[in-house]
Amino acid sequence: AQSVTQPDIHITVSEGASLELRCNYSYGATPYLFWYVQSPGQGLQLLLKYFSGDTLVQGIKGFEAEFKRSQSSFNLRKPSVHWSDAAEYFCAVAAGGSQGNLIFGKGTKLSVKP
């Protein structure tokens, strides 16, 4: 069955430090992968997505993610975290079939220390 695992429930980093959020997926074919961000009390906003080609994907707000098929991973990174990055981050895979429903991980909450 298709699934997404985000091993870290909560991460705290200092402002200016680098960030890596982990995401592992289970999917039989080539996955369509997404990272979304949710600020407190808000809806979800797409940060970046991968479906083919270059395995390093650039997104908005200075984020990037690397697709590693051998490790079934799609980790999100940012070289220098800003206080405004404090939010919850969700990794998702598009399920099979033409409808492509999203299957979400349980999310990682990011706190940023000043």
Q: Residue 25, Cα to own-chain centre: how many angstroms? A: 11
Distances (CA, A) of 42 to 46, 51, 90, 102: 13, 26, 13, 19
Determine, following the binding rule CB under 8 A, whether residue 53 of this chain makes contact with another protein: no
Tokens of 97: 């079939």
Answer for which of 55, 100, 111, 113 binds another protein (CB under 8 A) is 100
| Count of CB atoms situated within 10 Å of the CB of 66 | 16
Determine, following the binding rule CB under 8 A, whether residue 105 of this chain makes contact with another protein: yes
Determine, following the binding rule CB under 8 A, whether residue 98 of this chain makes contact with another protein: yes
User: Of 59 and 81, which has the nearer Cβ to another protein?
Assistant: 59
Contacting range for another protein; rule: CB under 8 A; set: 17-25, 62-70, 78-86, 91-99: 91-99
